[in-house]
């Protein structure tokens, strides 16, 4: 950690958070009650269901609200409580998670449900420390569940809240560097009169008004107290982080099809990227494009499909060649599926793209949108 960052972090820890004027808190809550989006995990006029809140928070990590809104009702109908998810097999969980991406979250939610079943009597724990001890739950998710589901007056700091606070206080640093100070500032934001609404109001403010680009300051209930707006710097804050080139990896995938129309799929190892998902056979993903002649999984008539399939992951971009082959294989050999039979399989969006590139339309994921080609941050 550089000296300036150490000083910033130390100052953030030592200084108490400033008080929130009651009129500002009331204005924010009133705006939220008028403007809040009707999302399926939000309780309308009734007590929030802790399991619904927890599931939604898992889904919203690195996934847009629009995508989660489409997938959440079916997932919760299939797994209405922790015990239902805990008792399910990994294949069923991954299948239900299709369309949401970042499949490691599905495995962590599955493990979290088992912990709740086995250690907490099937009920989501109320205490933040107990929540943080569950698989896949860190300080942010624990604070969100504690506030929204159990009425603890805290405000979880996600990207939306961090952006709002950076502008309110004109903190001209990248959010990652400013996070200790932003968390200190958030410590005084909880609404003791309406904790759930108060926490969601700050998140909603960043999602709807205090947006990354072209913030709608004229509609903001906190505009009068916003230092960045007073100084005309709301378009410059927060400062973007330095751009780093995303590494690129390369490989080949093979679409092998029998005479009866069945296609060969395999399951990825449980650990690691896309663990447990079904995929087309392929090569390892390397730092350089493949140069040697393809080593096909089966003998047959193979040809390369023109173009490449590109797919973004969090830390690298993937570029694959697709080879399509007409092959022969025993009728009783496992791993062969008709396209219609793939509806019951856990297929990643990468596998779906490869199938489409090869001229095979996989069964639609009910309620999910076709992948748009990029990963997006959650809650917007």
Q: What is the set of active-site residues? A: 57
- 269-272: long-range pairs with CB below 8 Å, 24+: 270/90
Residue 327: strand pairing partners: 300
> Which residues, in sequence order, are CB contacts of 365 under 8 Å at separation 6+?
71, 98, 99
Q: Identify the residue whose tokens are 């590109």.
A: 310
Q: How many CA atoms lie within 13 A of 304 on its CB side?
A: 11
The runs of H, that is alpha helices, within the chain are 3-14, 22-35, 50-60, 65-78, 82-86, 90-97, 104-119, 128-132, 139-150, 159-168, 175-186, 195-208, 227-230, 349-357
User: ∠ at Cα 152 (34, 25), nearest 5°?
Assistant: 40
Residue with tokens 């929204």: 148
How many Cβ atoms sit within 10 Å of the Cβ of residue 153?
A: 16
CA distance 362 to 368: 13
Q: Give the up-direction half-sphere exposure of residue 36: CA atoms within 13 A in the CB hemisphere.
A: 20
């Amino acid at each position: 950690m550089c000296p300036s960052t150490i000083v910033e972090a130390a100052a953030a820890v030592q200084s108490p958070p400033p008080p929130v004027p009651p009129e500002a808190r009331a204005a924010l809550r009133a705006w939220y009650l008028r403007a809040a989006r009707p999302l399926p995990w939000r309780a309308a006029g009734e007590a929030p269901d802790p399991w619904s809140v927890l599931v939604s928070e898992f889904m919203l990590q690195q996934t847009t609200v629009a995508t989660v809104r489409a997938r959440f009702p079916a997932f919760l109908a299939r797994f209405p409580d922790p015990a239902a998810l805990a008792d399910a097999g990994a294949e069923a969980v991954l299948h239900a998670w299709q369309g949401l991406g970042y499949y490691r979250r599905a495995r962590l939610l599955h493990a979290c449900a088992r912990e709740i079943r086995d250690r907490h009597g099937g009920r989501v724990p109320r205490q933040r420390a107990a929540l943080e001890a569950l698989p896949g739950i860190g300080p942010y998710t624990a604070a969100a569940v504690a506030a929204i589901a159990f009425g603890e007056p805290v405000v979880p700091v996600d990207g939306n809240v961090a952006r709002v606070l950076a502008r309110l206080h004109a903190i001209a640093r990248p959010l990652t560097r400013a996070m200790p100070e932003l968390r200190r500032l958030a410590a005084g934001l909880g609404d003791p009169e309406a904790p759930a609404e108060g926490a969601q109001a700050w998140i909603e403010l960043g999602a709807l008004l205090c947006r990354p680009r072209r913030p709608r300051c004229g509609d903001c209930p906190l505009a009068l107290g916003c230092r960045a707006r007073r100084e005309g710097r709301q378009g410059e804050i927060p400062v973007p982080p330095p751009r780093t080139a995303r590494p690129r990896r390369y490989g080949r995938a093979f679409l092998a099809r029998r005479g009866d129309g069945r296609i060969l799929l395999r399951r990825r190892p449980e650990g690691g990227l896309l663990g447990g998902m079904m995929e087309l056979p392929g090569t390892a993903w390397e730092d350089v494009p493949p140069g040697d002649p393809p080593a096909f999984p089966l003998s047959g008539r193979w040809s390369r499909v023109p173009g490449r399939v590109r797919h973004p992951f969090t830390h690298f971009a993937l570029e694959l060649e697709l080879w399509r082959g007409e092959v022969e294989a025993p009728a009783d050999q496992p791993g062969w599926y008709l396209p219609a039979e793939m509806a019951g399989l856990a297929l990643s969006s990468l596998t779906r793209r490869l199938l489409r590139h090869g001229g095979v339309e996989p069964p639609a994921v009910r309620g999910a949108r076709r992948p748009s080609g990029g990963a997006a941050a959650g809650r917007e």
